Structure 1
Amino acid sequence: MDRIQKQTRPVFPFTAIVGQEEMKLALILNVIDPKIGGVMIMGDRGTGKSTTIRAIADLLPEIEVVTDDMFNSHVSDYDLMSDFVKQQIENQVNVSTQFIKVPMVDLPLGATEDRLCGTIDIEKALNEGIKTFEAGLLAKANRGILYVDEVNLLDDHLVDILLDSAASGWNTVEREGISVRHPARFVLVGSGNPEEGELRPQLLDRFGMHAEIRTVRDPSLRVKIVEQRAKFDQDPYLCIEEFKGNQKDLKDNIIVAQKNLENVVIDYDLKVKISQICGLLNVDGLRGDIVTNRAAKAFAAYQNKDEVEIDDIKKVITLCLRHRLRKDPLETIDSGTKVDQTVNEILN
C-alpha cells in the first residue's frame, strides 16, 4: 500500500494524546455544540496545545459543501450558506456538492483586518460594476475550527472581530458603501502562555470555556508522553494505524452526540442551581449560566443520555466559569478551586 496516498500530512492521533483531559474534553464539547462559544487554552510552553487542536480537527467527520464555494456553504441549512448559493437554490438551479475535511484555519499573529475579514475590490466595483470579494480567514473557517495561537498577544481589535463573528455566526465587510455578508460559524480556539500576559477580562469572558493545562510532573507519565511522540516521529503511519480503532470509536461517539443534542433536556431545578452558583461567585452577566447549560447538555449527549444529571454539571462547570470570576489580587486560592468549592456546597 502506498503510504503517501493514505494521508498527505500525517497528524498525531487525538486518542494517542496522554493526559490533558480538561483540554481534550473542552474541545470535544465545542465540536458537539459550536454554540458553546469556543475554548481558551492557557498553559505552559510545550504542553501539546497545538498538537491537540490539530488532532481534533483531523479526527472530525468530513462535511458536505457546495463545490467551488469560498464559504464552505451548506447545501440545505440557510444559516450556513452564502447569498450566492441561496439565490441558486431559490432559482432551483442544481447545486453540486463535495465532501471535504473540516477546515482548520490558523490565524497568524501578524494578520491584518483585511486578511481576517476579507476585502472588496473597490477598483473593479467602480470600473466594471462587479462586486468582487476576496475571502478572508473567517470565510475559510466557516463550519470549521479557527485557531489563534498566542491569542493574548493578538491585537485587541482583531480579537473583538473574532469574538463578534464567533458569537453571531456572520461576518460583514463594508468598503466605500459596498457591503458583503457571509456565514462565519466556527469553533474559536485560542491558546496562550499566562507568563506572556492575560487577555482583557471583557474579551476572556466571551470565550465559552477556559481550560488550564500544566506540565505533567509524574516521571512515568512524562516518559509515556515522550515515547508516544518518538514512536509517531519514527513512523507516523504505523502510529495512526495503531490508534485507528480508538479514533473511529471517538468519531462515532461525536456524530451520535451531535445528532442527540437537541433531544437532551435539563431539569428546571438544575438550571436554578447553576444560576445560584453563578450568583454566589459574583459572575457578571449571564454568559456563565448560558454556557454551563449548553456544555452540560453537550456532555450528557456525549455520555449518550437524554437528560442532564448533577455529575454532568460538575464535570463542565469549572471549565465554563473559572475565567469569569473577578480577579482579586489578595485572593489566595485559584479561581478553579473557588468554583469547585461553591459547586460542592450547592450540588451536594
Structure 2
Amino acid sequence: MTRAFPFSAIVGQADMKLAMILTAVDPGIGGVLVFGDRGTGKSTAVRALAALLPQITAIEGCPVNSPTPEDVPDWVETATGQQVRRPTPVVDLPLGVTEDRVTGALDIERALTRGEKAFEPGLLARANRGYLYIDEVNLLEDHVVDLLLDVAQTGVNAVEREGLSIRHPARFVLVGSGNPEEGELRPQLLDRFGLSVDVRSPDTIEERVEVIRRRDAFETDHACFMQRWEIEDAKVRDAITAGRLALPLTRTPDEVLHDCAALSVALGVDGLRGELTMLRAARALAAYEGTAAPDRSHLRRVAPLAMGHRMRRDPLDEASATARVTRAVEEVLA
C-alpha cells in the first residue's frame, strides 16, 4: 500500500503546515480551516499529517479510543481491557453523509438476526481523540453542520432514537478545507475553527518546478523518496512529542496577555475566543520550538492564523483579512 505524501516534502504553504502542527501540539486550539484554490495541497497536507502524528494509547476493541478501562462506555462489549498503541485516528466525513452515519445508530443486522438492540458507532466515535476531516466543508448540509456544532461545543455525542439512549465522548480536532468560489461557510461553523489559513497556488516558476519534481519522484521512485523525507518527518514528529510534554510547563507572561487583548481591540473582533485562541497558539508554538514562554515573535506568527477569519467585513477597506491583521500586528507590536 502506497503511503501518504510526506508532510515535510510539501513545498511552501508554511502557514498551513504551521497551523496543523500547532493543533497537533495542543488539540484544544480548536481545529484548522484551509481555504484556497484547487490543487494547492490541502488534502495532501491532511493525509500527510495523519502519518506524522504520534500514536495514542487506547483500550483494544473500544470504538471510541478510550485511554483506560474506566473510560470505556457501558454499551461497549468488544473492549478487552488491554491497552494498545494505535495511530492517531484521522476520519474523513464525506459530503452527503447521513446523520446516522455521523452519530451512530441501531445495529440493524444484529437486531434482525439476534433480536438484540445494540448501538453501531458512527464517524464521531472513530474520530474521538483524533481528527475529523471535511473536504469541501462549505458545501456540507445544514443539518450536519448543526450536529457538528452541538458536539464540538459539548465534546459529547448523544444519540436518542430508535429506543436507544447512548452517550460517548467525541473530542476531536476539526479540519476543513474548501474553495471559497463554491460558497461561503456558515458563520457559526466558521467561528468553531481555531485557526484559518488561505492558500494560493505557487506564483514563481522555481516553486512550481519543485512541486512537480517532488510529486514525480514520489510516484516514480517511491521507496527512495519516502526514505529521504522520513528523516525530516521524524524531526517534526519528535518536536511535536516534545512540545506536548513541554506545553503544561510553558509560562505565560503578563505582557503577552496584554498584547493579545490589545490586538483584539485594535482589530475590533467580537468576543474573547479570538484572543484566547491566539494565546493558546502562541504557547503551542513556543513549546514546539523549545522556548520556555511565548513572546511577541510568536504572536506575530500566529495572529493572522487565529484572527483572520474572525474579522468583520469592512466595505471601505479592500485589503484581505490577513493583510488587515498583519497591519494591526505591526502597529500594536511595533
TM over 0.5, yes or no?
yes
Report how far residue 190 of structure 1 moved: 0.1
Alignment counterpart, residue 143 of structure 1, candidates 129, 133, 156 = 129
CA 1:221/1:123 → structure 2, altered by over 3 Å: closer, same or farther? closer
Aligned position for 2:120 = 134
Alignment counterpart, residue 158 of structure 2, candidates 157, 161, 172 = 172
Q: Does 1:84 align with 2:74?
A: yes
Aligned position for 1:208 = 194
Aligned position for 2:234 = 248
1:340 counterpart letter in structure 2: T
Aligned partners of 1:120 and 1:133 also within 8 Å: yes
Task: Kindly provide the CA deviation profile for residues 279-329 of structure 1, in whole angstroms up to 9, marking residues without a partner as x.
Answer: 221211111011111111100101101211110111101100000011233
Matches within 5 A, 1:322-333: 322-333=308-319
1:283 counterpart letter in structure 2: V
1:320 counterpart letter in structure 2: A
Report how far residue 128 of structure 1 moved: 8.3
CA 1:271/1:179 → structure 2, altered by over 3 Å: closer, same or farther? same
Aligned partners of 1:124 and 1:132 also within 8 Å: yes
Q: Does 1:46 align with 2:39?
A: yes
Q: Does 1:272 align with 2:258?
A: yes
SS of 1:172's partner is strand
Task: Kindly provide the CA deviation profile for residues 22-54 of structure 1, in whole angstroms up to 9, marking residues without a partner as x.
Answer: 000000001111110000000100001101110
Matches within 5 A, 1:116-127: 116-121=102-107
Percent of aligned positions with the same letter in both sequences? Answer: 46
Q: What is the RMSD of the two structures over their aligned residues, measured on CA atoms?
A: 2.4
Aligned position for 1:187 = 173
Task: Determine the C-alpha separation between the residues in 1 that align with 2:194 and 2:214.
Answer: 31
CA 1:174/1:124 → structure 2, altered by over 3 Å: closer, same or farther? farther
2:215 counterpart letter in structure 1: R
Matches within 5 A, 1:52-131: 52-75=45-68, 81-84=71-74, 95-121=81-107, 131=117
Task: Determine the C-alpha separation between the residues in 1 that align with 2:201 and 2:190.
Answer: 22
Aligned partners of 2:92 and 2:133 also within 8 Å: yes
CA 1:243/1:121 → structure 2, altered by over 3 Å: closer, same or farther? closer
Aligned partners of 1:73 and 1:85 also within 8 Å: no
Q: Does 1:224 align with 2:214?
A: no
Aligned partners of 1:264 and 1:306 also within 8 Å: yes
Task: Determine the C-alpha separation between the residues in 2 that align with 1:237 and 1:197.
Answer: 39
Q: Does 1:283 align with 2:269?
A: yes
Report how far residue 269 of structure 1 moved: 2.5
Aligned partners of 2:31 and 2:194 also within 8 Å: yes
SS of 2:74's partner is helix
Task: Determine the C-alpha separation between the residues in 2 that align with 1:39 and 1:322.
Answer: 12
Aligned position for 1:21 = 14
Aligned partners of 1:13 and 1:247 also within 8 Å: yes
Q: What is the TM-score when the length of structure 1 is the normalising length?
A: 0.90
Report how far residue 166 of structure 1 moved: 3.1
Task: Determine the C-alpha separation between the residues in 2 that align with 1:279 and 1:116.
Answer: 38
SS of 2:263's partner is helix
Aligned length: 334
Q: What is the TM-score when the length of structure 2 is the normalising length?
A: 0.93
5+ residue gaps, structure 1, are 1-7
CA 1:87/1:273 → structure 2, altered by over 3 Å: closer, same or farther? farther
Q: Which runs of 4+ in 1 moved over 6 A?
A: 85-88, 122-129
Report how far residue 161 of structure 1 moved: 2.1
Task: Kindly provide the CA deviation profile for residues 139-165 of structure 1, in whole angstroms up to 9, marking residues without a partner as x.
Answer: 111121111000000012212322332
1:44 counterpart letter in structure 2: D
Aligned partners of 1:10 and 1:237 also within 8 Å: no
Report how far residue 121 of structure 1 moved: 4.7
Aligned position for 1:343 = 329
Task: Determine the C-alpha separation between the residues in 1 that align with 2:90 and 2:286.
Answer: 26
Task: Kindly provide the CA deviation profile for residues 70-124 of structure 1, in whole angstroms up to 9, marking residues without a partner as x.
Answer: 1111127x7xx33239999xxxx98212222221211110101111111135997
Report how far residue 64 of structure 1 moved: 1.7
SS of 1:95's partner is coil
Aligned position for 2:222 = 236
Task: Kindly provide the CA deviation profile for residues 208-232 of structure 1, in whole angstroms up to 9, marking residues without a partner as x.
Answer: 0101101101001100010000000
Aligned position for 2:287 = 301
